[in-house]
Amino acid sequence: MTAFNKWFLSSSANSIDNYYQYMSEVVKIVGTHYQSLEKPYEYIEMEDIQEKAAEFVKLENEGKLPNAIFESIQNLVMKYSLHISHPGAMAHLHCPPMIPALAAEVIITALNQSMDSWDQSPVATYIEDGVIQEMIKKINYPKTASGVFTSGGTQSNYMALLLARNEYCAKHFSINVSKQGLPAEAQKFRIFCSEKAHFTVQQSAAQLGLGMQSVVTIKTNERFEMCPEHLYEEIERVKKQGDIPFTVVATIGTTDFGSIDPLHELSKLTERENIWLHADAAYGGALLFSHSYSHLVSHLHKADSITMDFHKWFYQPVSCGAFFVKKASMFEHIQLHADYLNPEEDSQLHLVDRSIQTTKRFDALKLWLTFQAVGKQEFGDMIDYTIRTARQTADYLQERKDIELLNTPEMNAIVFRYQPNIHYRDKQKQRVFENTINQSIQQLFYDQGRLIMAKTKNHGQVYLKLTMLNPLITFDETVKRLDEVISLGKDLEKKEERLREHATIS
Ligand SMILES: *Cc1c(COP(=O)(O)O)cnc(C)c1O
């Protein structure tokens, strides 16, 4: 025993007492908080938040008792956080976490296994690999496939382009990029993705020494899906210029619209051209478990690599994602061996051999625990419920004259805008007016904490976005909230009208 005993988990009585005290208090404040939760957000001036946060974070010389600590957490962190489990929080691909996953987090953090080398996570390593294998079966990938848990889509997309780049250099230039660095021809490497693809394609290209210039964006059709004809033309154009197409990134669920690029057609093209096909299914991966809509991802196995986020439509606490690759041997492109961690002669599975992270959380356990508790059947029901609710909501908006609906949701994201009645003769003035009204609607609802929507742009015009991931969202309640959106739009419009009259009189 040392003086520090109570701060660490051990068999001693004061350790266990302290653990129970902290854990029971913390569970209580979370539970009571949700009991009294009415709104997704409690408005506070930004300056006030900054001031309170600055006070909150001060490091103290002496430790405090847990109830004092938790009280200050309640008064600031709980009170002013965005409550993503509330059905009025529909902005981003930001999910309410499922309760079984929250229980898993307690175990993940208490055991604190590190998923880099086998000796630091003897069971956890094989559980992560097993969960990956279960997903590989769902994807319908061949036996050669492999994968690894990641911090999310950003990391997974980065890994895809990293492997694709290194594989291309090995195959066509006999260059081992890990050892020799990039060949001069890397200047000419080109990546293709749709104009609606996630910005991390550009970001990864920038970080991988290819520059954002290497990303060629392909037009989308009226459903915001990549046009294979335009992709074909662009590949031909790039080749004629002497540049080198090496990867196509298909998005399986674009962040704004949830639109799905035509993987089957794209794969025919990439196979013929011998180009790596990456599927960014950060959002759409969950469709694999859908009862009614899994056909939308039936071609996922055609991709050479896949990004999937579990902290989106799989309802896992941040962070939790995975990267899959059709041929496990591709991971050799990122393997380096450290004598103290993963020496070459070891026969155990060291997950660091598949990852760009070293120390890594045992996030696989929360996904596993979720599926143990919920089961594939009910999980699929949830996915389907959210799609049906979103489609019903879109149908409702379609019927309203004061709304312009931009997409028919394939998944559960809806993009729309309030359409004012007032029309200016000056087109530019009209655009500004429409954009201002929609921006104000989004901001005012956020400030009132009634409805949290996102805003996005299409052809320079401001749109509102609902991401209806949360299975607690109902159609009726959503319609009520949208009617409030419309009536706020009308109010703002009336104000503008009065200003106009005023201007003509004076
Ligand atoms: C969210 C998202 C990403 C980025 O994933 P993070 O988990 O936020 O790192 C990449 N691609 C798509 C399509 C996404 O929706």
pLDDT above 70 as % of the chain: 99
Please tell me whether residues 336 and 292 are part of one structural domain.
yes
The answer to whether 464 and 56 have CB atoms below 8 angstroms apart is no
Give the CA radius of gyration of the chain. Answer: 25
C-alpha to C-alpha distance for 135 and 139, rounded to whole angstroms:
6
Higher pLDDT among residues 318 and 342, named by residue? 318
3-state secondary structure 62-82: CCCCHHHHHHHHHHHHHHHCC
pLDDT above 90 as % of the chain: 92
CA of 439 to the centre of ligand 1 (A): 24
User: What pLDDT was estimated at residue 347?
Assistant: 86
Higher pLDDT among residues 502 and 145, named by residue? 145
Atom number, ligand 1, closest to the C-alpha of residue 252:
13
**pLDDT tens digit string along 184-230?**
999 999 999 999 999 999 999 999 999 999 999 999 999 999 999 99
Atom number, ligand 1, closest to the C-alpha of residue 309:
7
All residues at 6 or more sequence positions from 336 whose CB lies less than 8 Å from its CB, including other chains: 178
C-alpha to C-alpha distance for 99 and 315, rounded to whole angstroms:
9
CA of 219 to the centre of ligand 1 (A): 20
Please tell me whether residues 411 and 426 are part of one structural domain.
yes
All residues at 6 or more sequence positions from 354 whose CB lies less than 8 Å from its CB, including other chains: 146, 147, 148, 331, 334
Q: What are phi and psi of 379, to 5 degrees?
A: -60, -45
What is the best residue among 157, 305, 309, 319 to mutate for testing ligand 1's pocket, by most ligand atoms within 8 Å of CB?
Answer: 309
C-alpha to C-alpha distance for 476 and 392, rounded to whole angstroms:
10
CA of 326 to the centre of ligand 1 (A): 20
Strands 244-251 and 189-194: parallel
**pLDDT tens digit string along 177-189?**
999 999 999 999 9
The answer to whether residue 70 sits within a structural domain is yes
Please tell me whether residues 363 and 388 are part of one structural domain.
no
**pLDDT at residue 429 greater than cutoff 60:** yes
The answer to whether residue 41 sits within a structural domain is yes
Residue 450 confidence class, pLDDT cut points 50, 70, 90: confident
User: What pLDDT was estimated at residue 341?
Assistant: 83
Please tell me whether residues 119 and 53 are part of one structural domain.
no
**pLDDT tens digit string along 97-139?**
999 999 999 999 999 999 999 999 999 999 999 999 999 999 9
Atom number, ligand 1, closest to the C-alpha of residue 200:
10
Pick the residue whose CA is nearest to atom 5 on ligand 1: 153
Looking at the DSSP bridge assignments, the partners of residue 403 are 418
Atom number, ligand 1, closest to the C-alpha of residue 311:
7
Where residue 145 sits, what CATH number does that domain have?
3.40.640.10
The answer to whether residue 5 sits within a structural domain is no
CA of 253 to the centre of ligand 1 (A): 10
452 SS3 class: strand
For the chain, helix, strand, coil in percent to 5 are 50, 15, 35
**pLDDT at residue 236 greater than cutoff 80:** yes
Alpha carbon separation from 200 to 94, 154, 204, 261, 267 (Å, rounded): 17, 6, 6, 17, 21
**pLDDT at residue 363 greater than cutoff 90:** yes
Please tell me whether residues 282 and 143 are part of one structural domain.
yes
CA of 334 to the centre of ligand 1 (A): 22
What is the best residue among 94, 151, 156, 307 to mutate for testing ligand 1's pocket, by most ligand atoms within 8 Å of CB?
Answer: 307
For residues 424-452, average pLDDT: 93
Of 330, 355, 374, the residue that ends a domain is: 374
Going through 100-226 in order, the beta strands assigned E by DSSP cover 146-150, 189-194, 215-218
DSSP string, 374-418: HHHHHHHHHHHHHHHHHHHHHHHHHH-TTEEE----SSSEEEEEE
The answer to whether residue 231 sits within a structural domain is yes
- Tell me the average pLDDT of the chain: 95
Pick the residue whose CA is nearest to atom 10 on ligand 1: 153
The answer to whether 287 and 234 have CB atoms below 8 angstroms apart is no
C-alpha to C-alpha distance for 339 and 316, rounded to whole angstroms:
35
Residue 432 confidence class, pLDDT cut points 50, 70, 90: very high
Please tell me whether residues 389 and 369 are part of one structural domain.
no
CA of 194 to the centre of ligand 1 (A): 15
Higher pLDDT among residues 422 and 443, named by residue? 443
Pick the residue whose CA is nearest to atom 15 on ligand 1: 255
The closest alpha carbon to 116, from 340, 273, 308, 305, belongs to 340
The answer to whether residue 7 sits within a structural domain is no
CA of 153 to the centre of ligand 1 (A): 4
Q: How many structural domains are present in the chain?
A: 3
Residue 420 confidence class, pLDDT cut points 50, 70, 90: very high
Atom number, ligand 1, closest to the C-alpha of residue 197:
13
**pLDDT at residue 147 greater than cutoff 80:** yes
For residues 284-311, average pLDDT: 98
What is the best residue among 220, 255, 287 to mutate for testing ligand 1's pocket, by most ligand atoms within 8 Å of CB?
Answer: 255
Please tell me whether residues 209 and 139 are part of one structural domain.
yes
The answer to whether 218 and 261 have CB atoms below 8 angstroms apart is no
Atom number, ligand 1, closest to the C-alpha of residue 152:
7
Please tell me whether residues 367 and 402 are part of one structural domain.
no
Of 327, 342, 374, the residue that ends a domain is: 374
The answer to whether residue 253 sits within a structural domain is yes
For residues 313-326, average pLDDT: 98
For residues 294-313, average pLDDT: 98
28-32 — which CB contacts under 8 Å span 24+ positions? 29/70, 29/73, 29/74, 29/78, 30/78
What is the best residue among 154, 311, 356 to mutate for testing ligand 1's pocket, by most ligand atoms within 8 Å of CB?
Answer: 154
Atom number, ligand 1, closest to the C-alpha of residue 283:
15
Please tell me whether residues 52 and 190 are part of one structural domain.
no
The answer to whether residue 209 sits within a structural domain is yes
Pick the residue whose CA is nearest to atom 4 on ligand 1: 153
User: What pLDDT was estimated at residue 87?
Assistant: 94
Q: Which residues line ligand 1 (CB under 6 A)?
A: 93, 152-154, 157, 198, 200, 251, 255, 280, 282-283, 309, 321
Amino acid at 345: E
pTM (2 d.p.)? 0.96
For residues 336-346, average pLDDT: 84
Please tell me whether residues 395 and 370 are part of one structural domain.
no
The answer to whether residue 150 sits within a structural domain is yes
CA of 119 to the centre of ligand 1 (A): 31
CA of 379 to the centre of ligand 1 (A): 21
Token output for 244? 């080198």
CA of 114 to the centre of ligand 1 (A): 24
All residues at 6 or more sequence positions from 52 whose CB lies less than 8 Å from its CB, including other chains: 44, 76, 80
**pLDDT tens digit string along 69-100?**
999 999 999 999 999 999 999 999 999 999 99
What is the best residue among 198, 202, 411 to mutate for testing ligand 1's pocket, by most ligand atoms within 8 Å of CB?
Answer: 198
Of 67, 96, 125, the residue that ends a domain is: 96
CA of 256 to the centre of ligand 1 (A): 11
**pLDDT at residue 372 greater than cutoff 80:** yes
* Cβ atoms < 10 Å from Cβ of 24: 10
Atom number, ligand 1, closest to the C-alpha of residue 281:
13
Please tell me whether residues 369 and 384 are part of one structural domain.
no
Q: Which residues span the domain enclosing 408?
A: 377-505
For residues 140-157, average pLDDT: 98
CA of 143 to the centre of ligand 1 (A): 27
Residue 506 confidence class, pLDDT cut points 50, 70, 90: low
CA of 152 to the centre of ligand 1 (A): 7
Please tell me whether residues 186 and 129 are part of one structural domain.
yes
CA of 484 to the centre of ligand 1 (A): 30
432 SS3 class: helix
